[in-house]
Amino acid sequence: PEDIFVLRQGGAIVAAGLLWHQAHYRQNMVKAYHGAMKAAALAPRLPTLFGYLPVPRAGAPLHFAMLGLLPVKGNNAALYPPLLAGLGAAARRRGFEIVVAGAPKSSSLWQVLGHARNLQFGSRLFTMQAKPNPATKPASGKPVFLECGWL
Give the alpha-carbon dihedral of 60, 102, 86, 45, to 10 degrees: 40
Nearest to 97 by CA among 71, 60, 72: 60
pLDDT of the residue at 137: 55
User: What is the average pLDDT value for the chain, to the nearest integer?
Assistant: 77
Q: Using the predicted structure, report yes or no on whether residue 122 has a pLDDT greater than 70.
A: no
Confidence bin at 126 (pLDDT 50/70/90): very low
Q: Which H helix or E strand runs over 42? A: helix 35-42
Backbone angles phi, psi at 104, to 5 degrees: -70, 150
Distances (CA, A) of 19 to 1, 99, 122: 10, 8, 23
Nearest to 84 by CA among 108, 67, 98: 67
pLDDT of the residue at 133: 55
pTM of this structure: 0.67
**What digits encode the pLDDT tens for the residues 39-90?**
888 999 988 888 778 888 888 888 888 888 778 898 888 888 898 888 888 8
Cα distance between the two ends of the chain: 33
Q: Using the predicted structure, report yes or no on whether residue 130 has a pLDDT greater than 70.
A: no
pLDDT of the residue at 8: 93
- Decide if 22 contacts 68 (C-beta within 8 A): no
Higher-pLDDT residue of 99 and 13 is 13
pLDDT of the residue at 136: 53
Confidence bin at 127 (pLDDT 50/70/90): very low
Backbone angles phi, psi at 146, to 5 degrees: -130, 145
| Lowest mean pLDDT, pick from 30-34, 109-113, 126-130 | 126-130
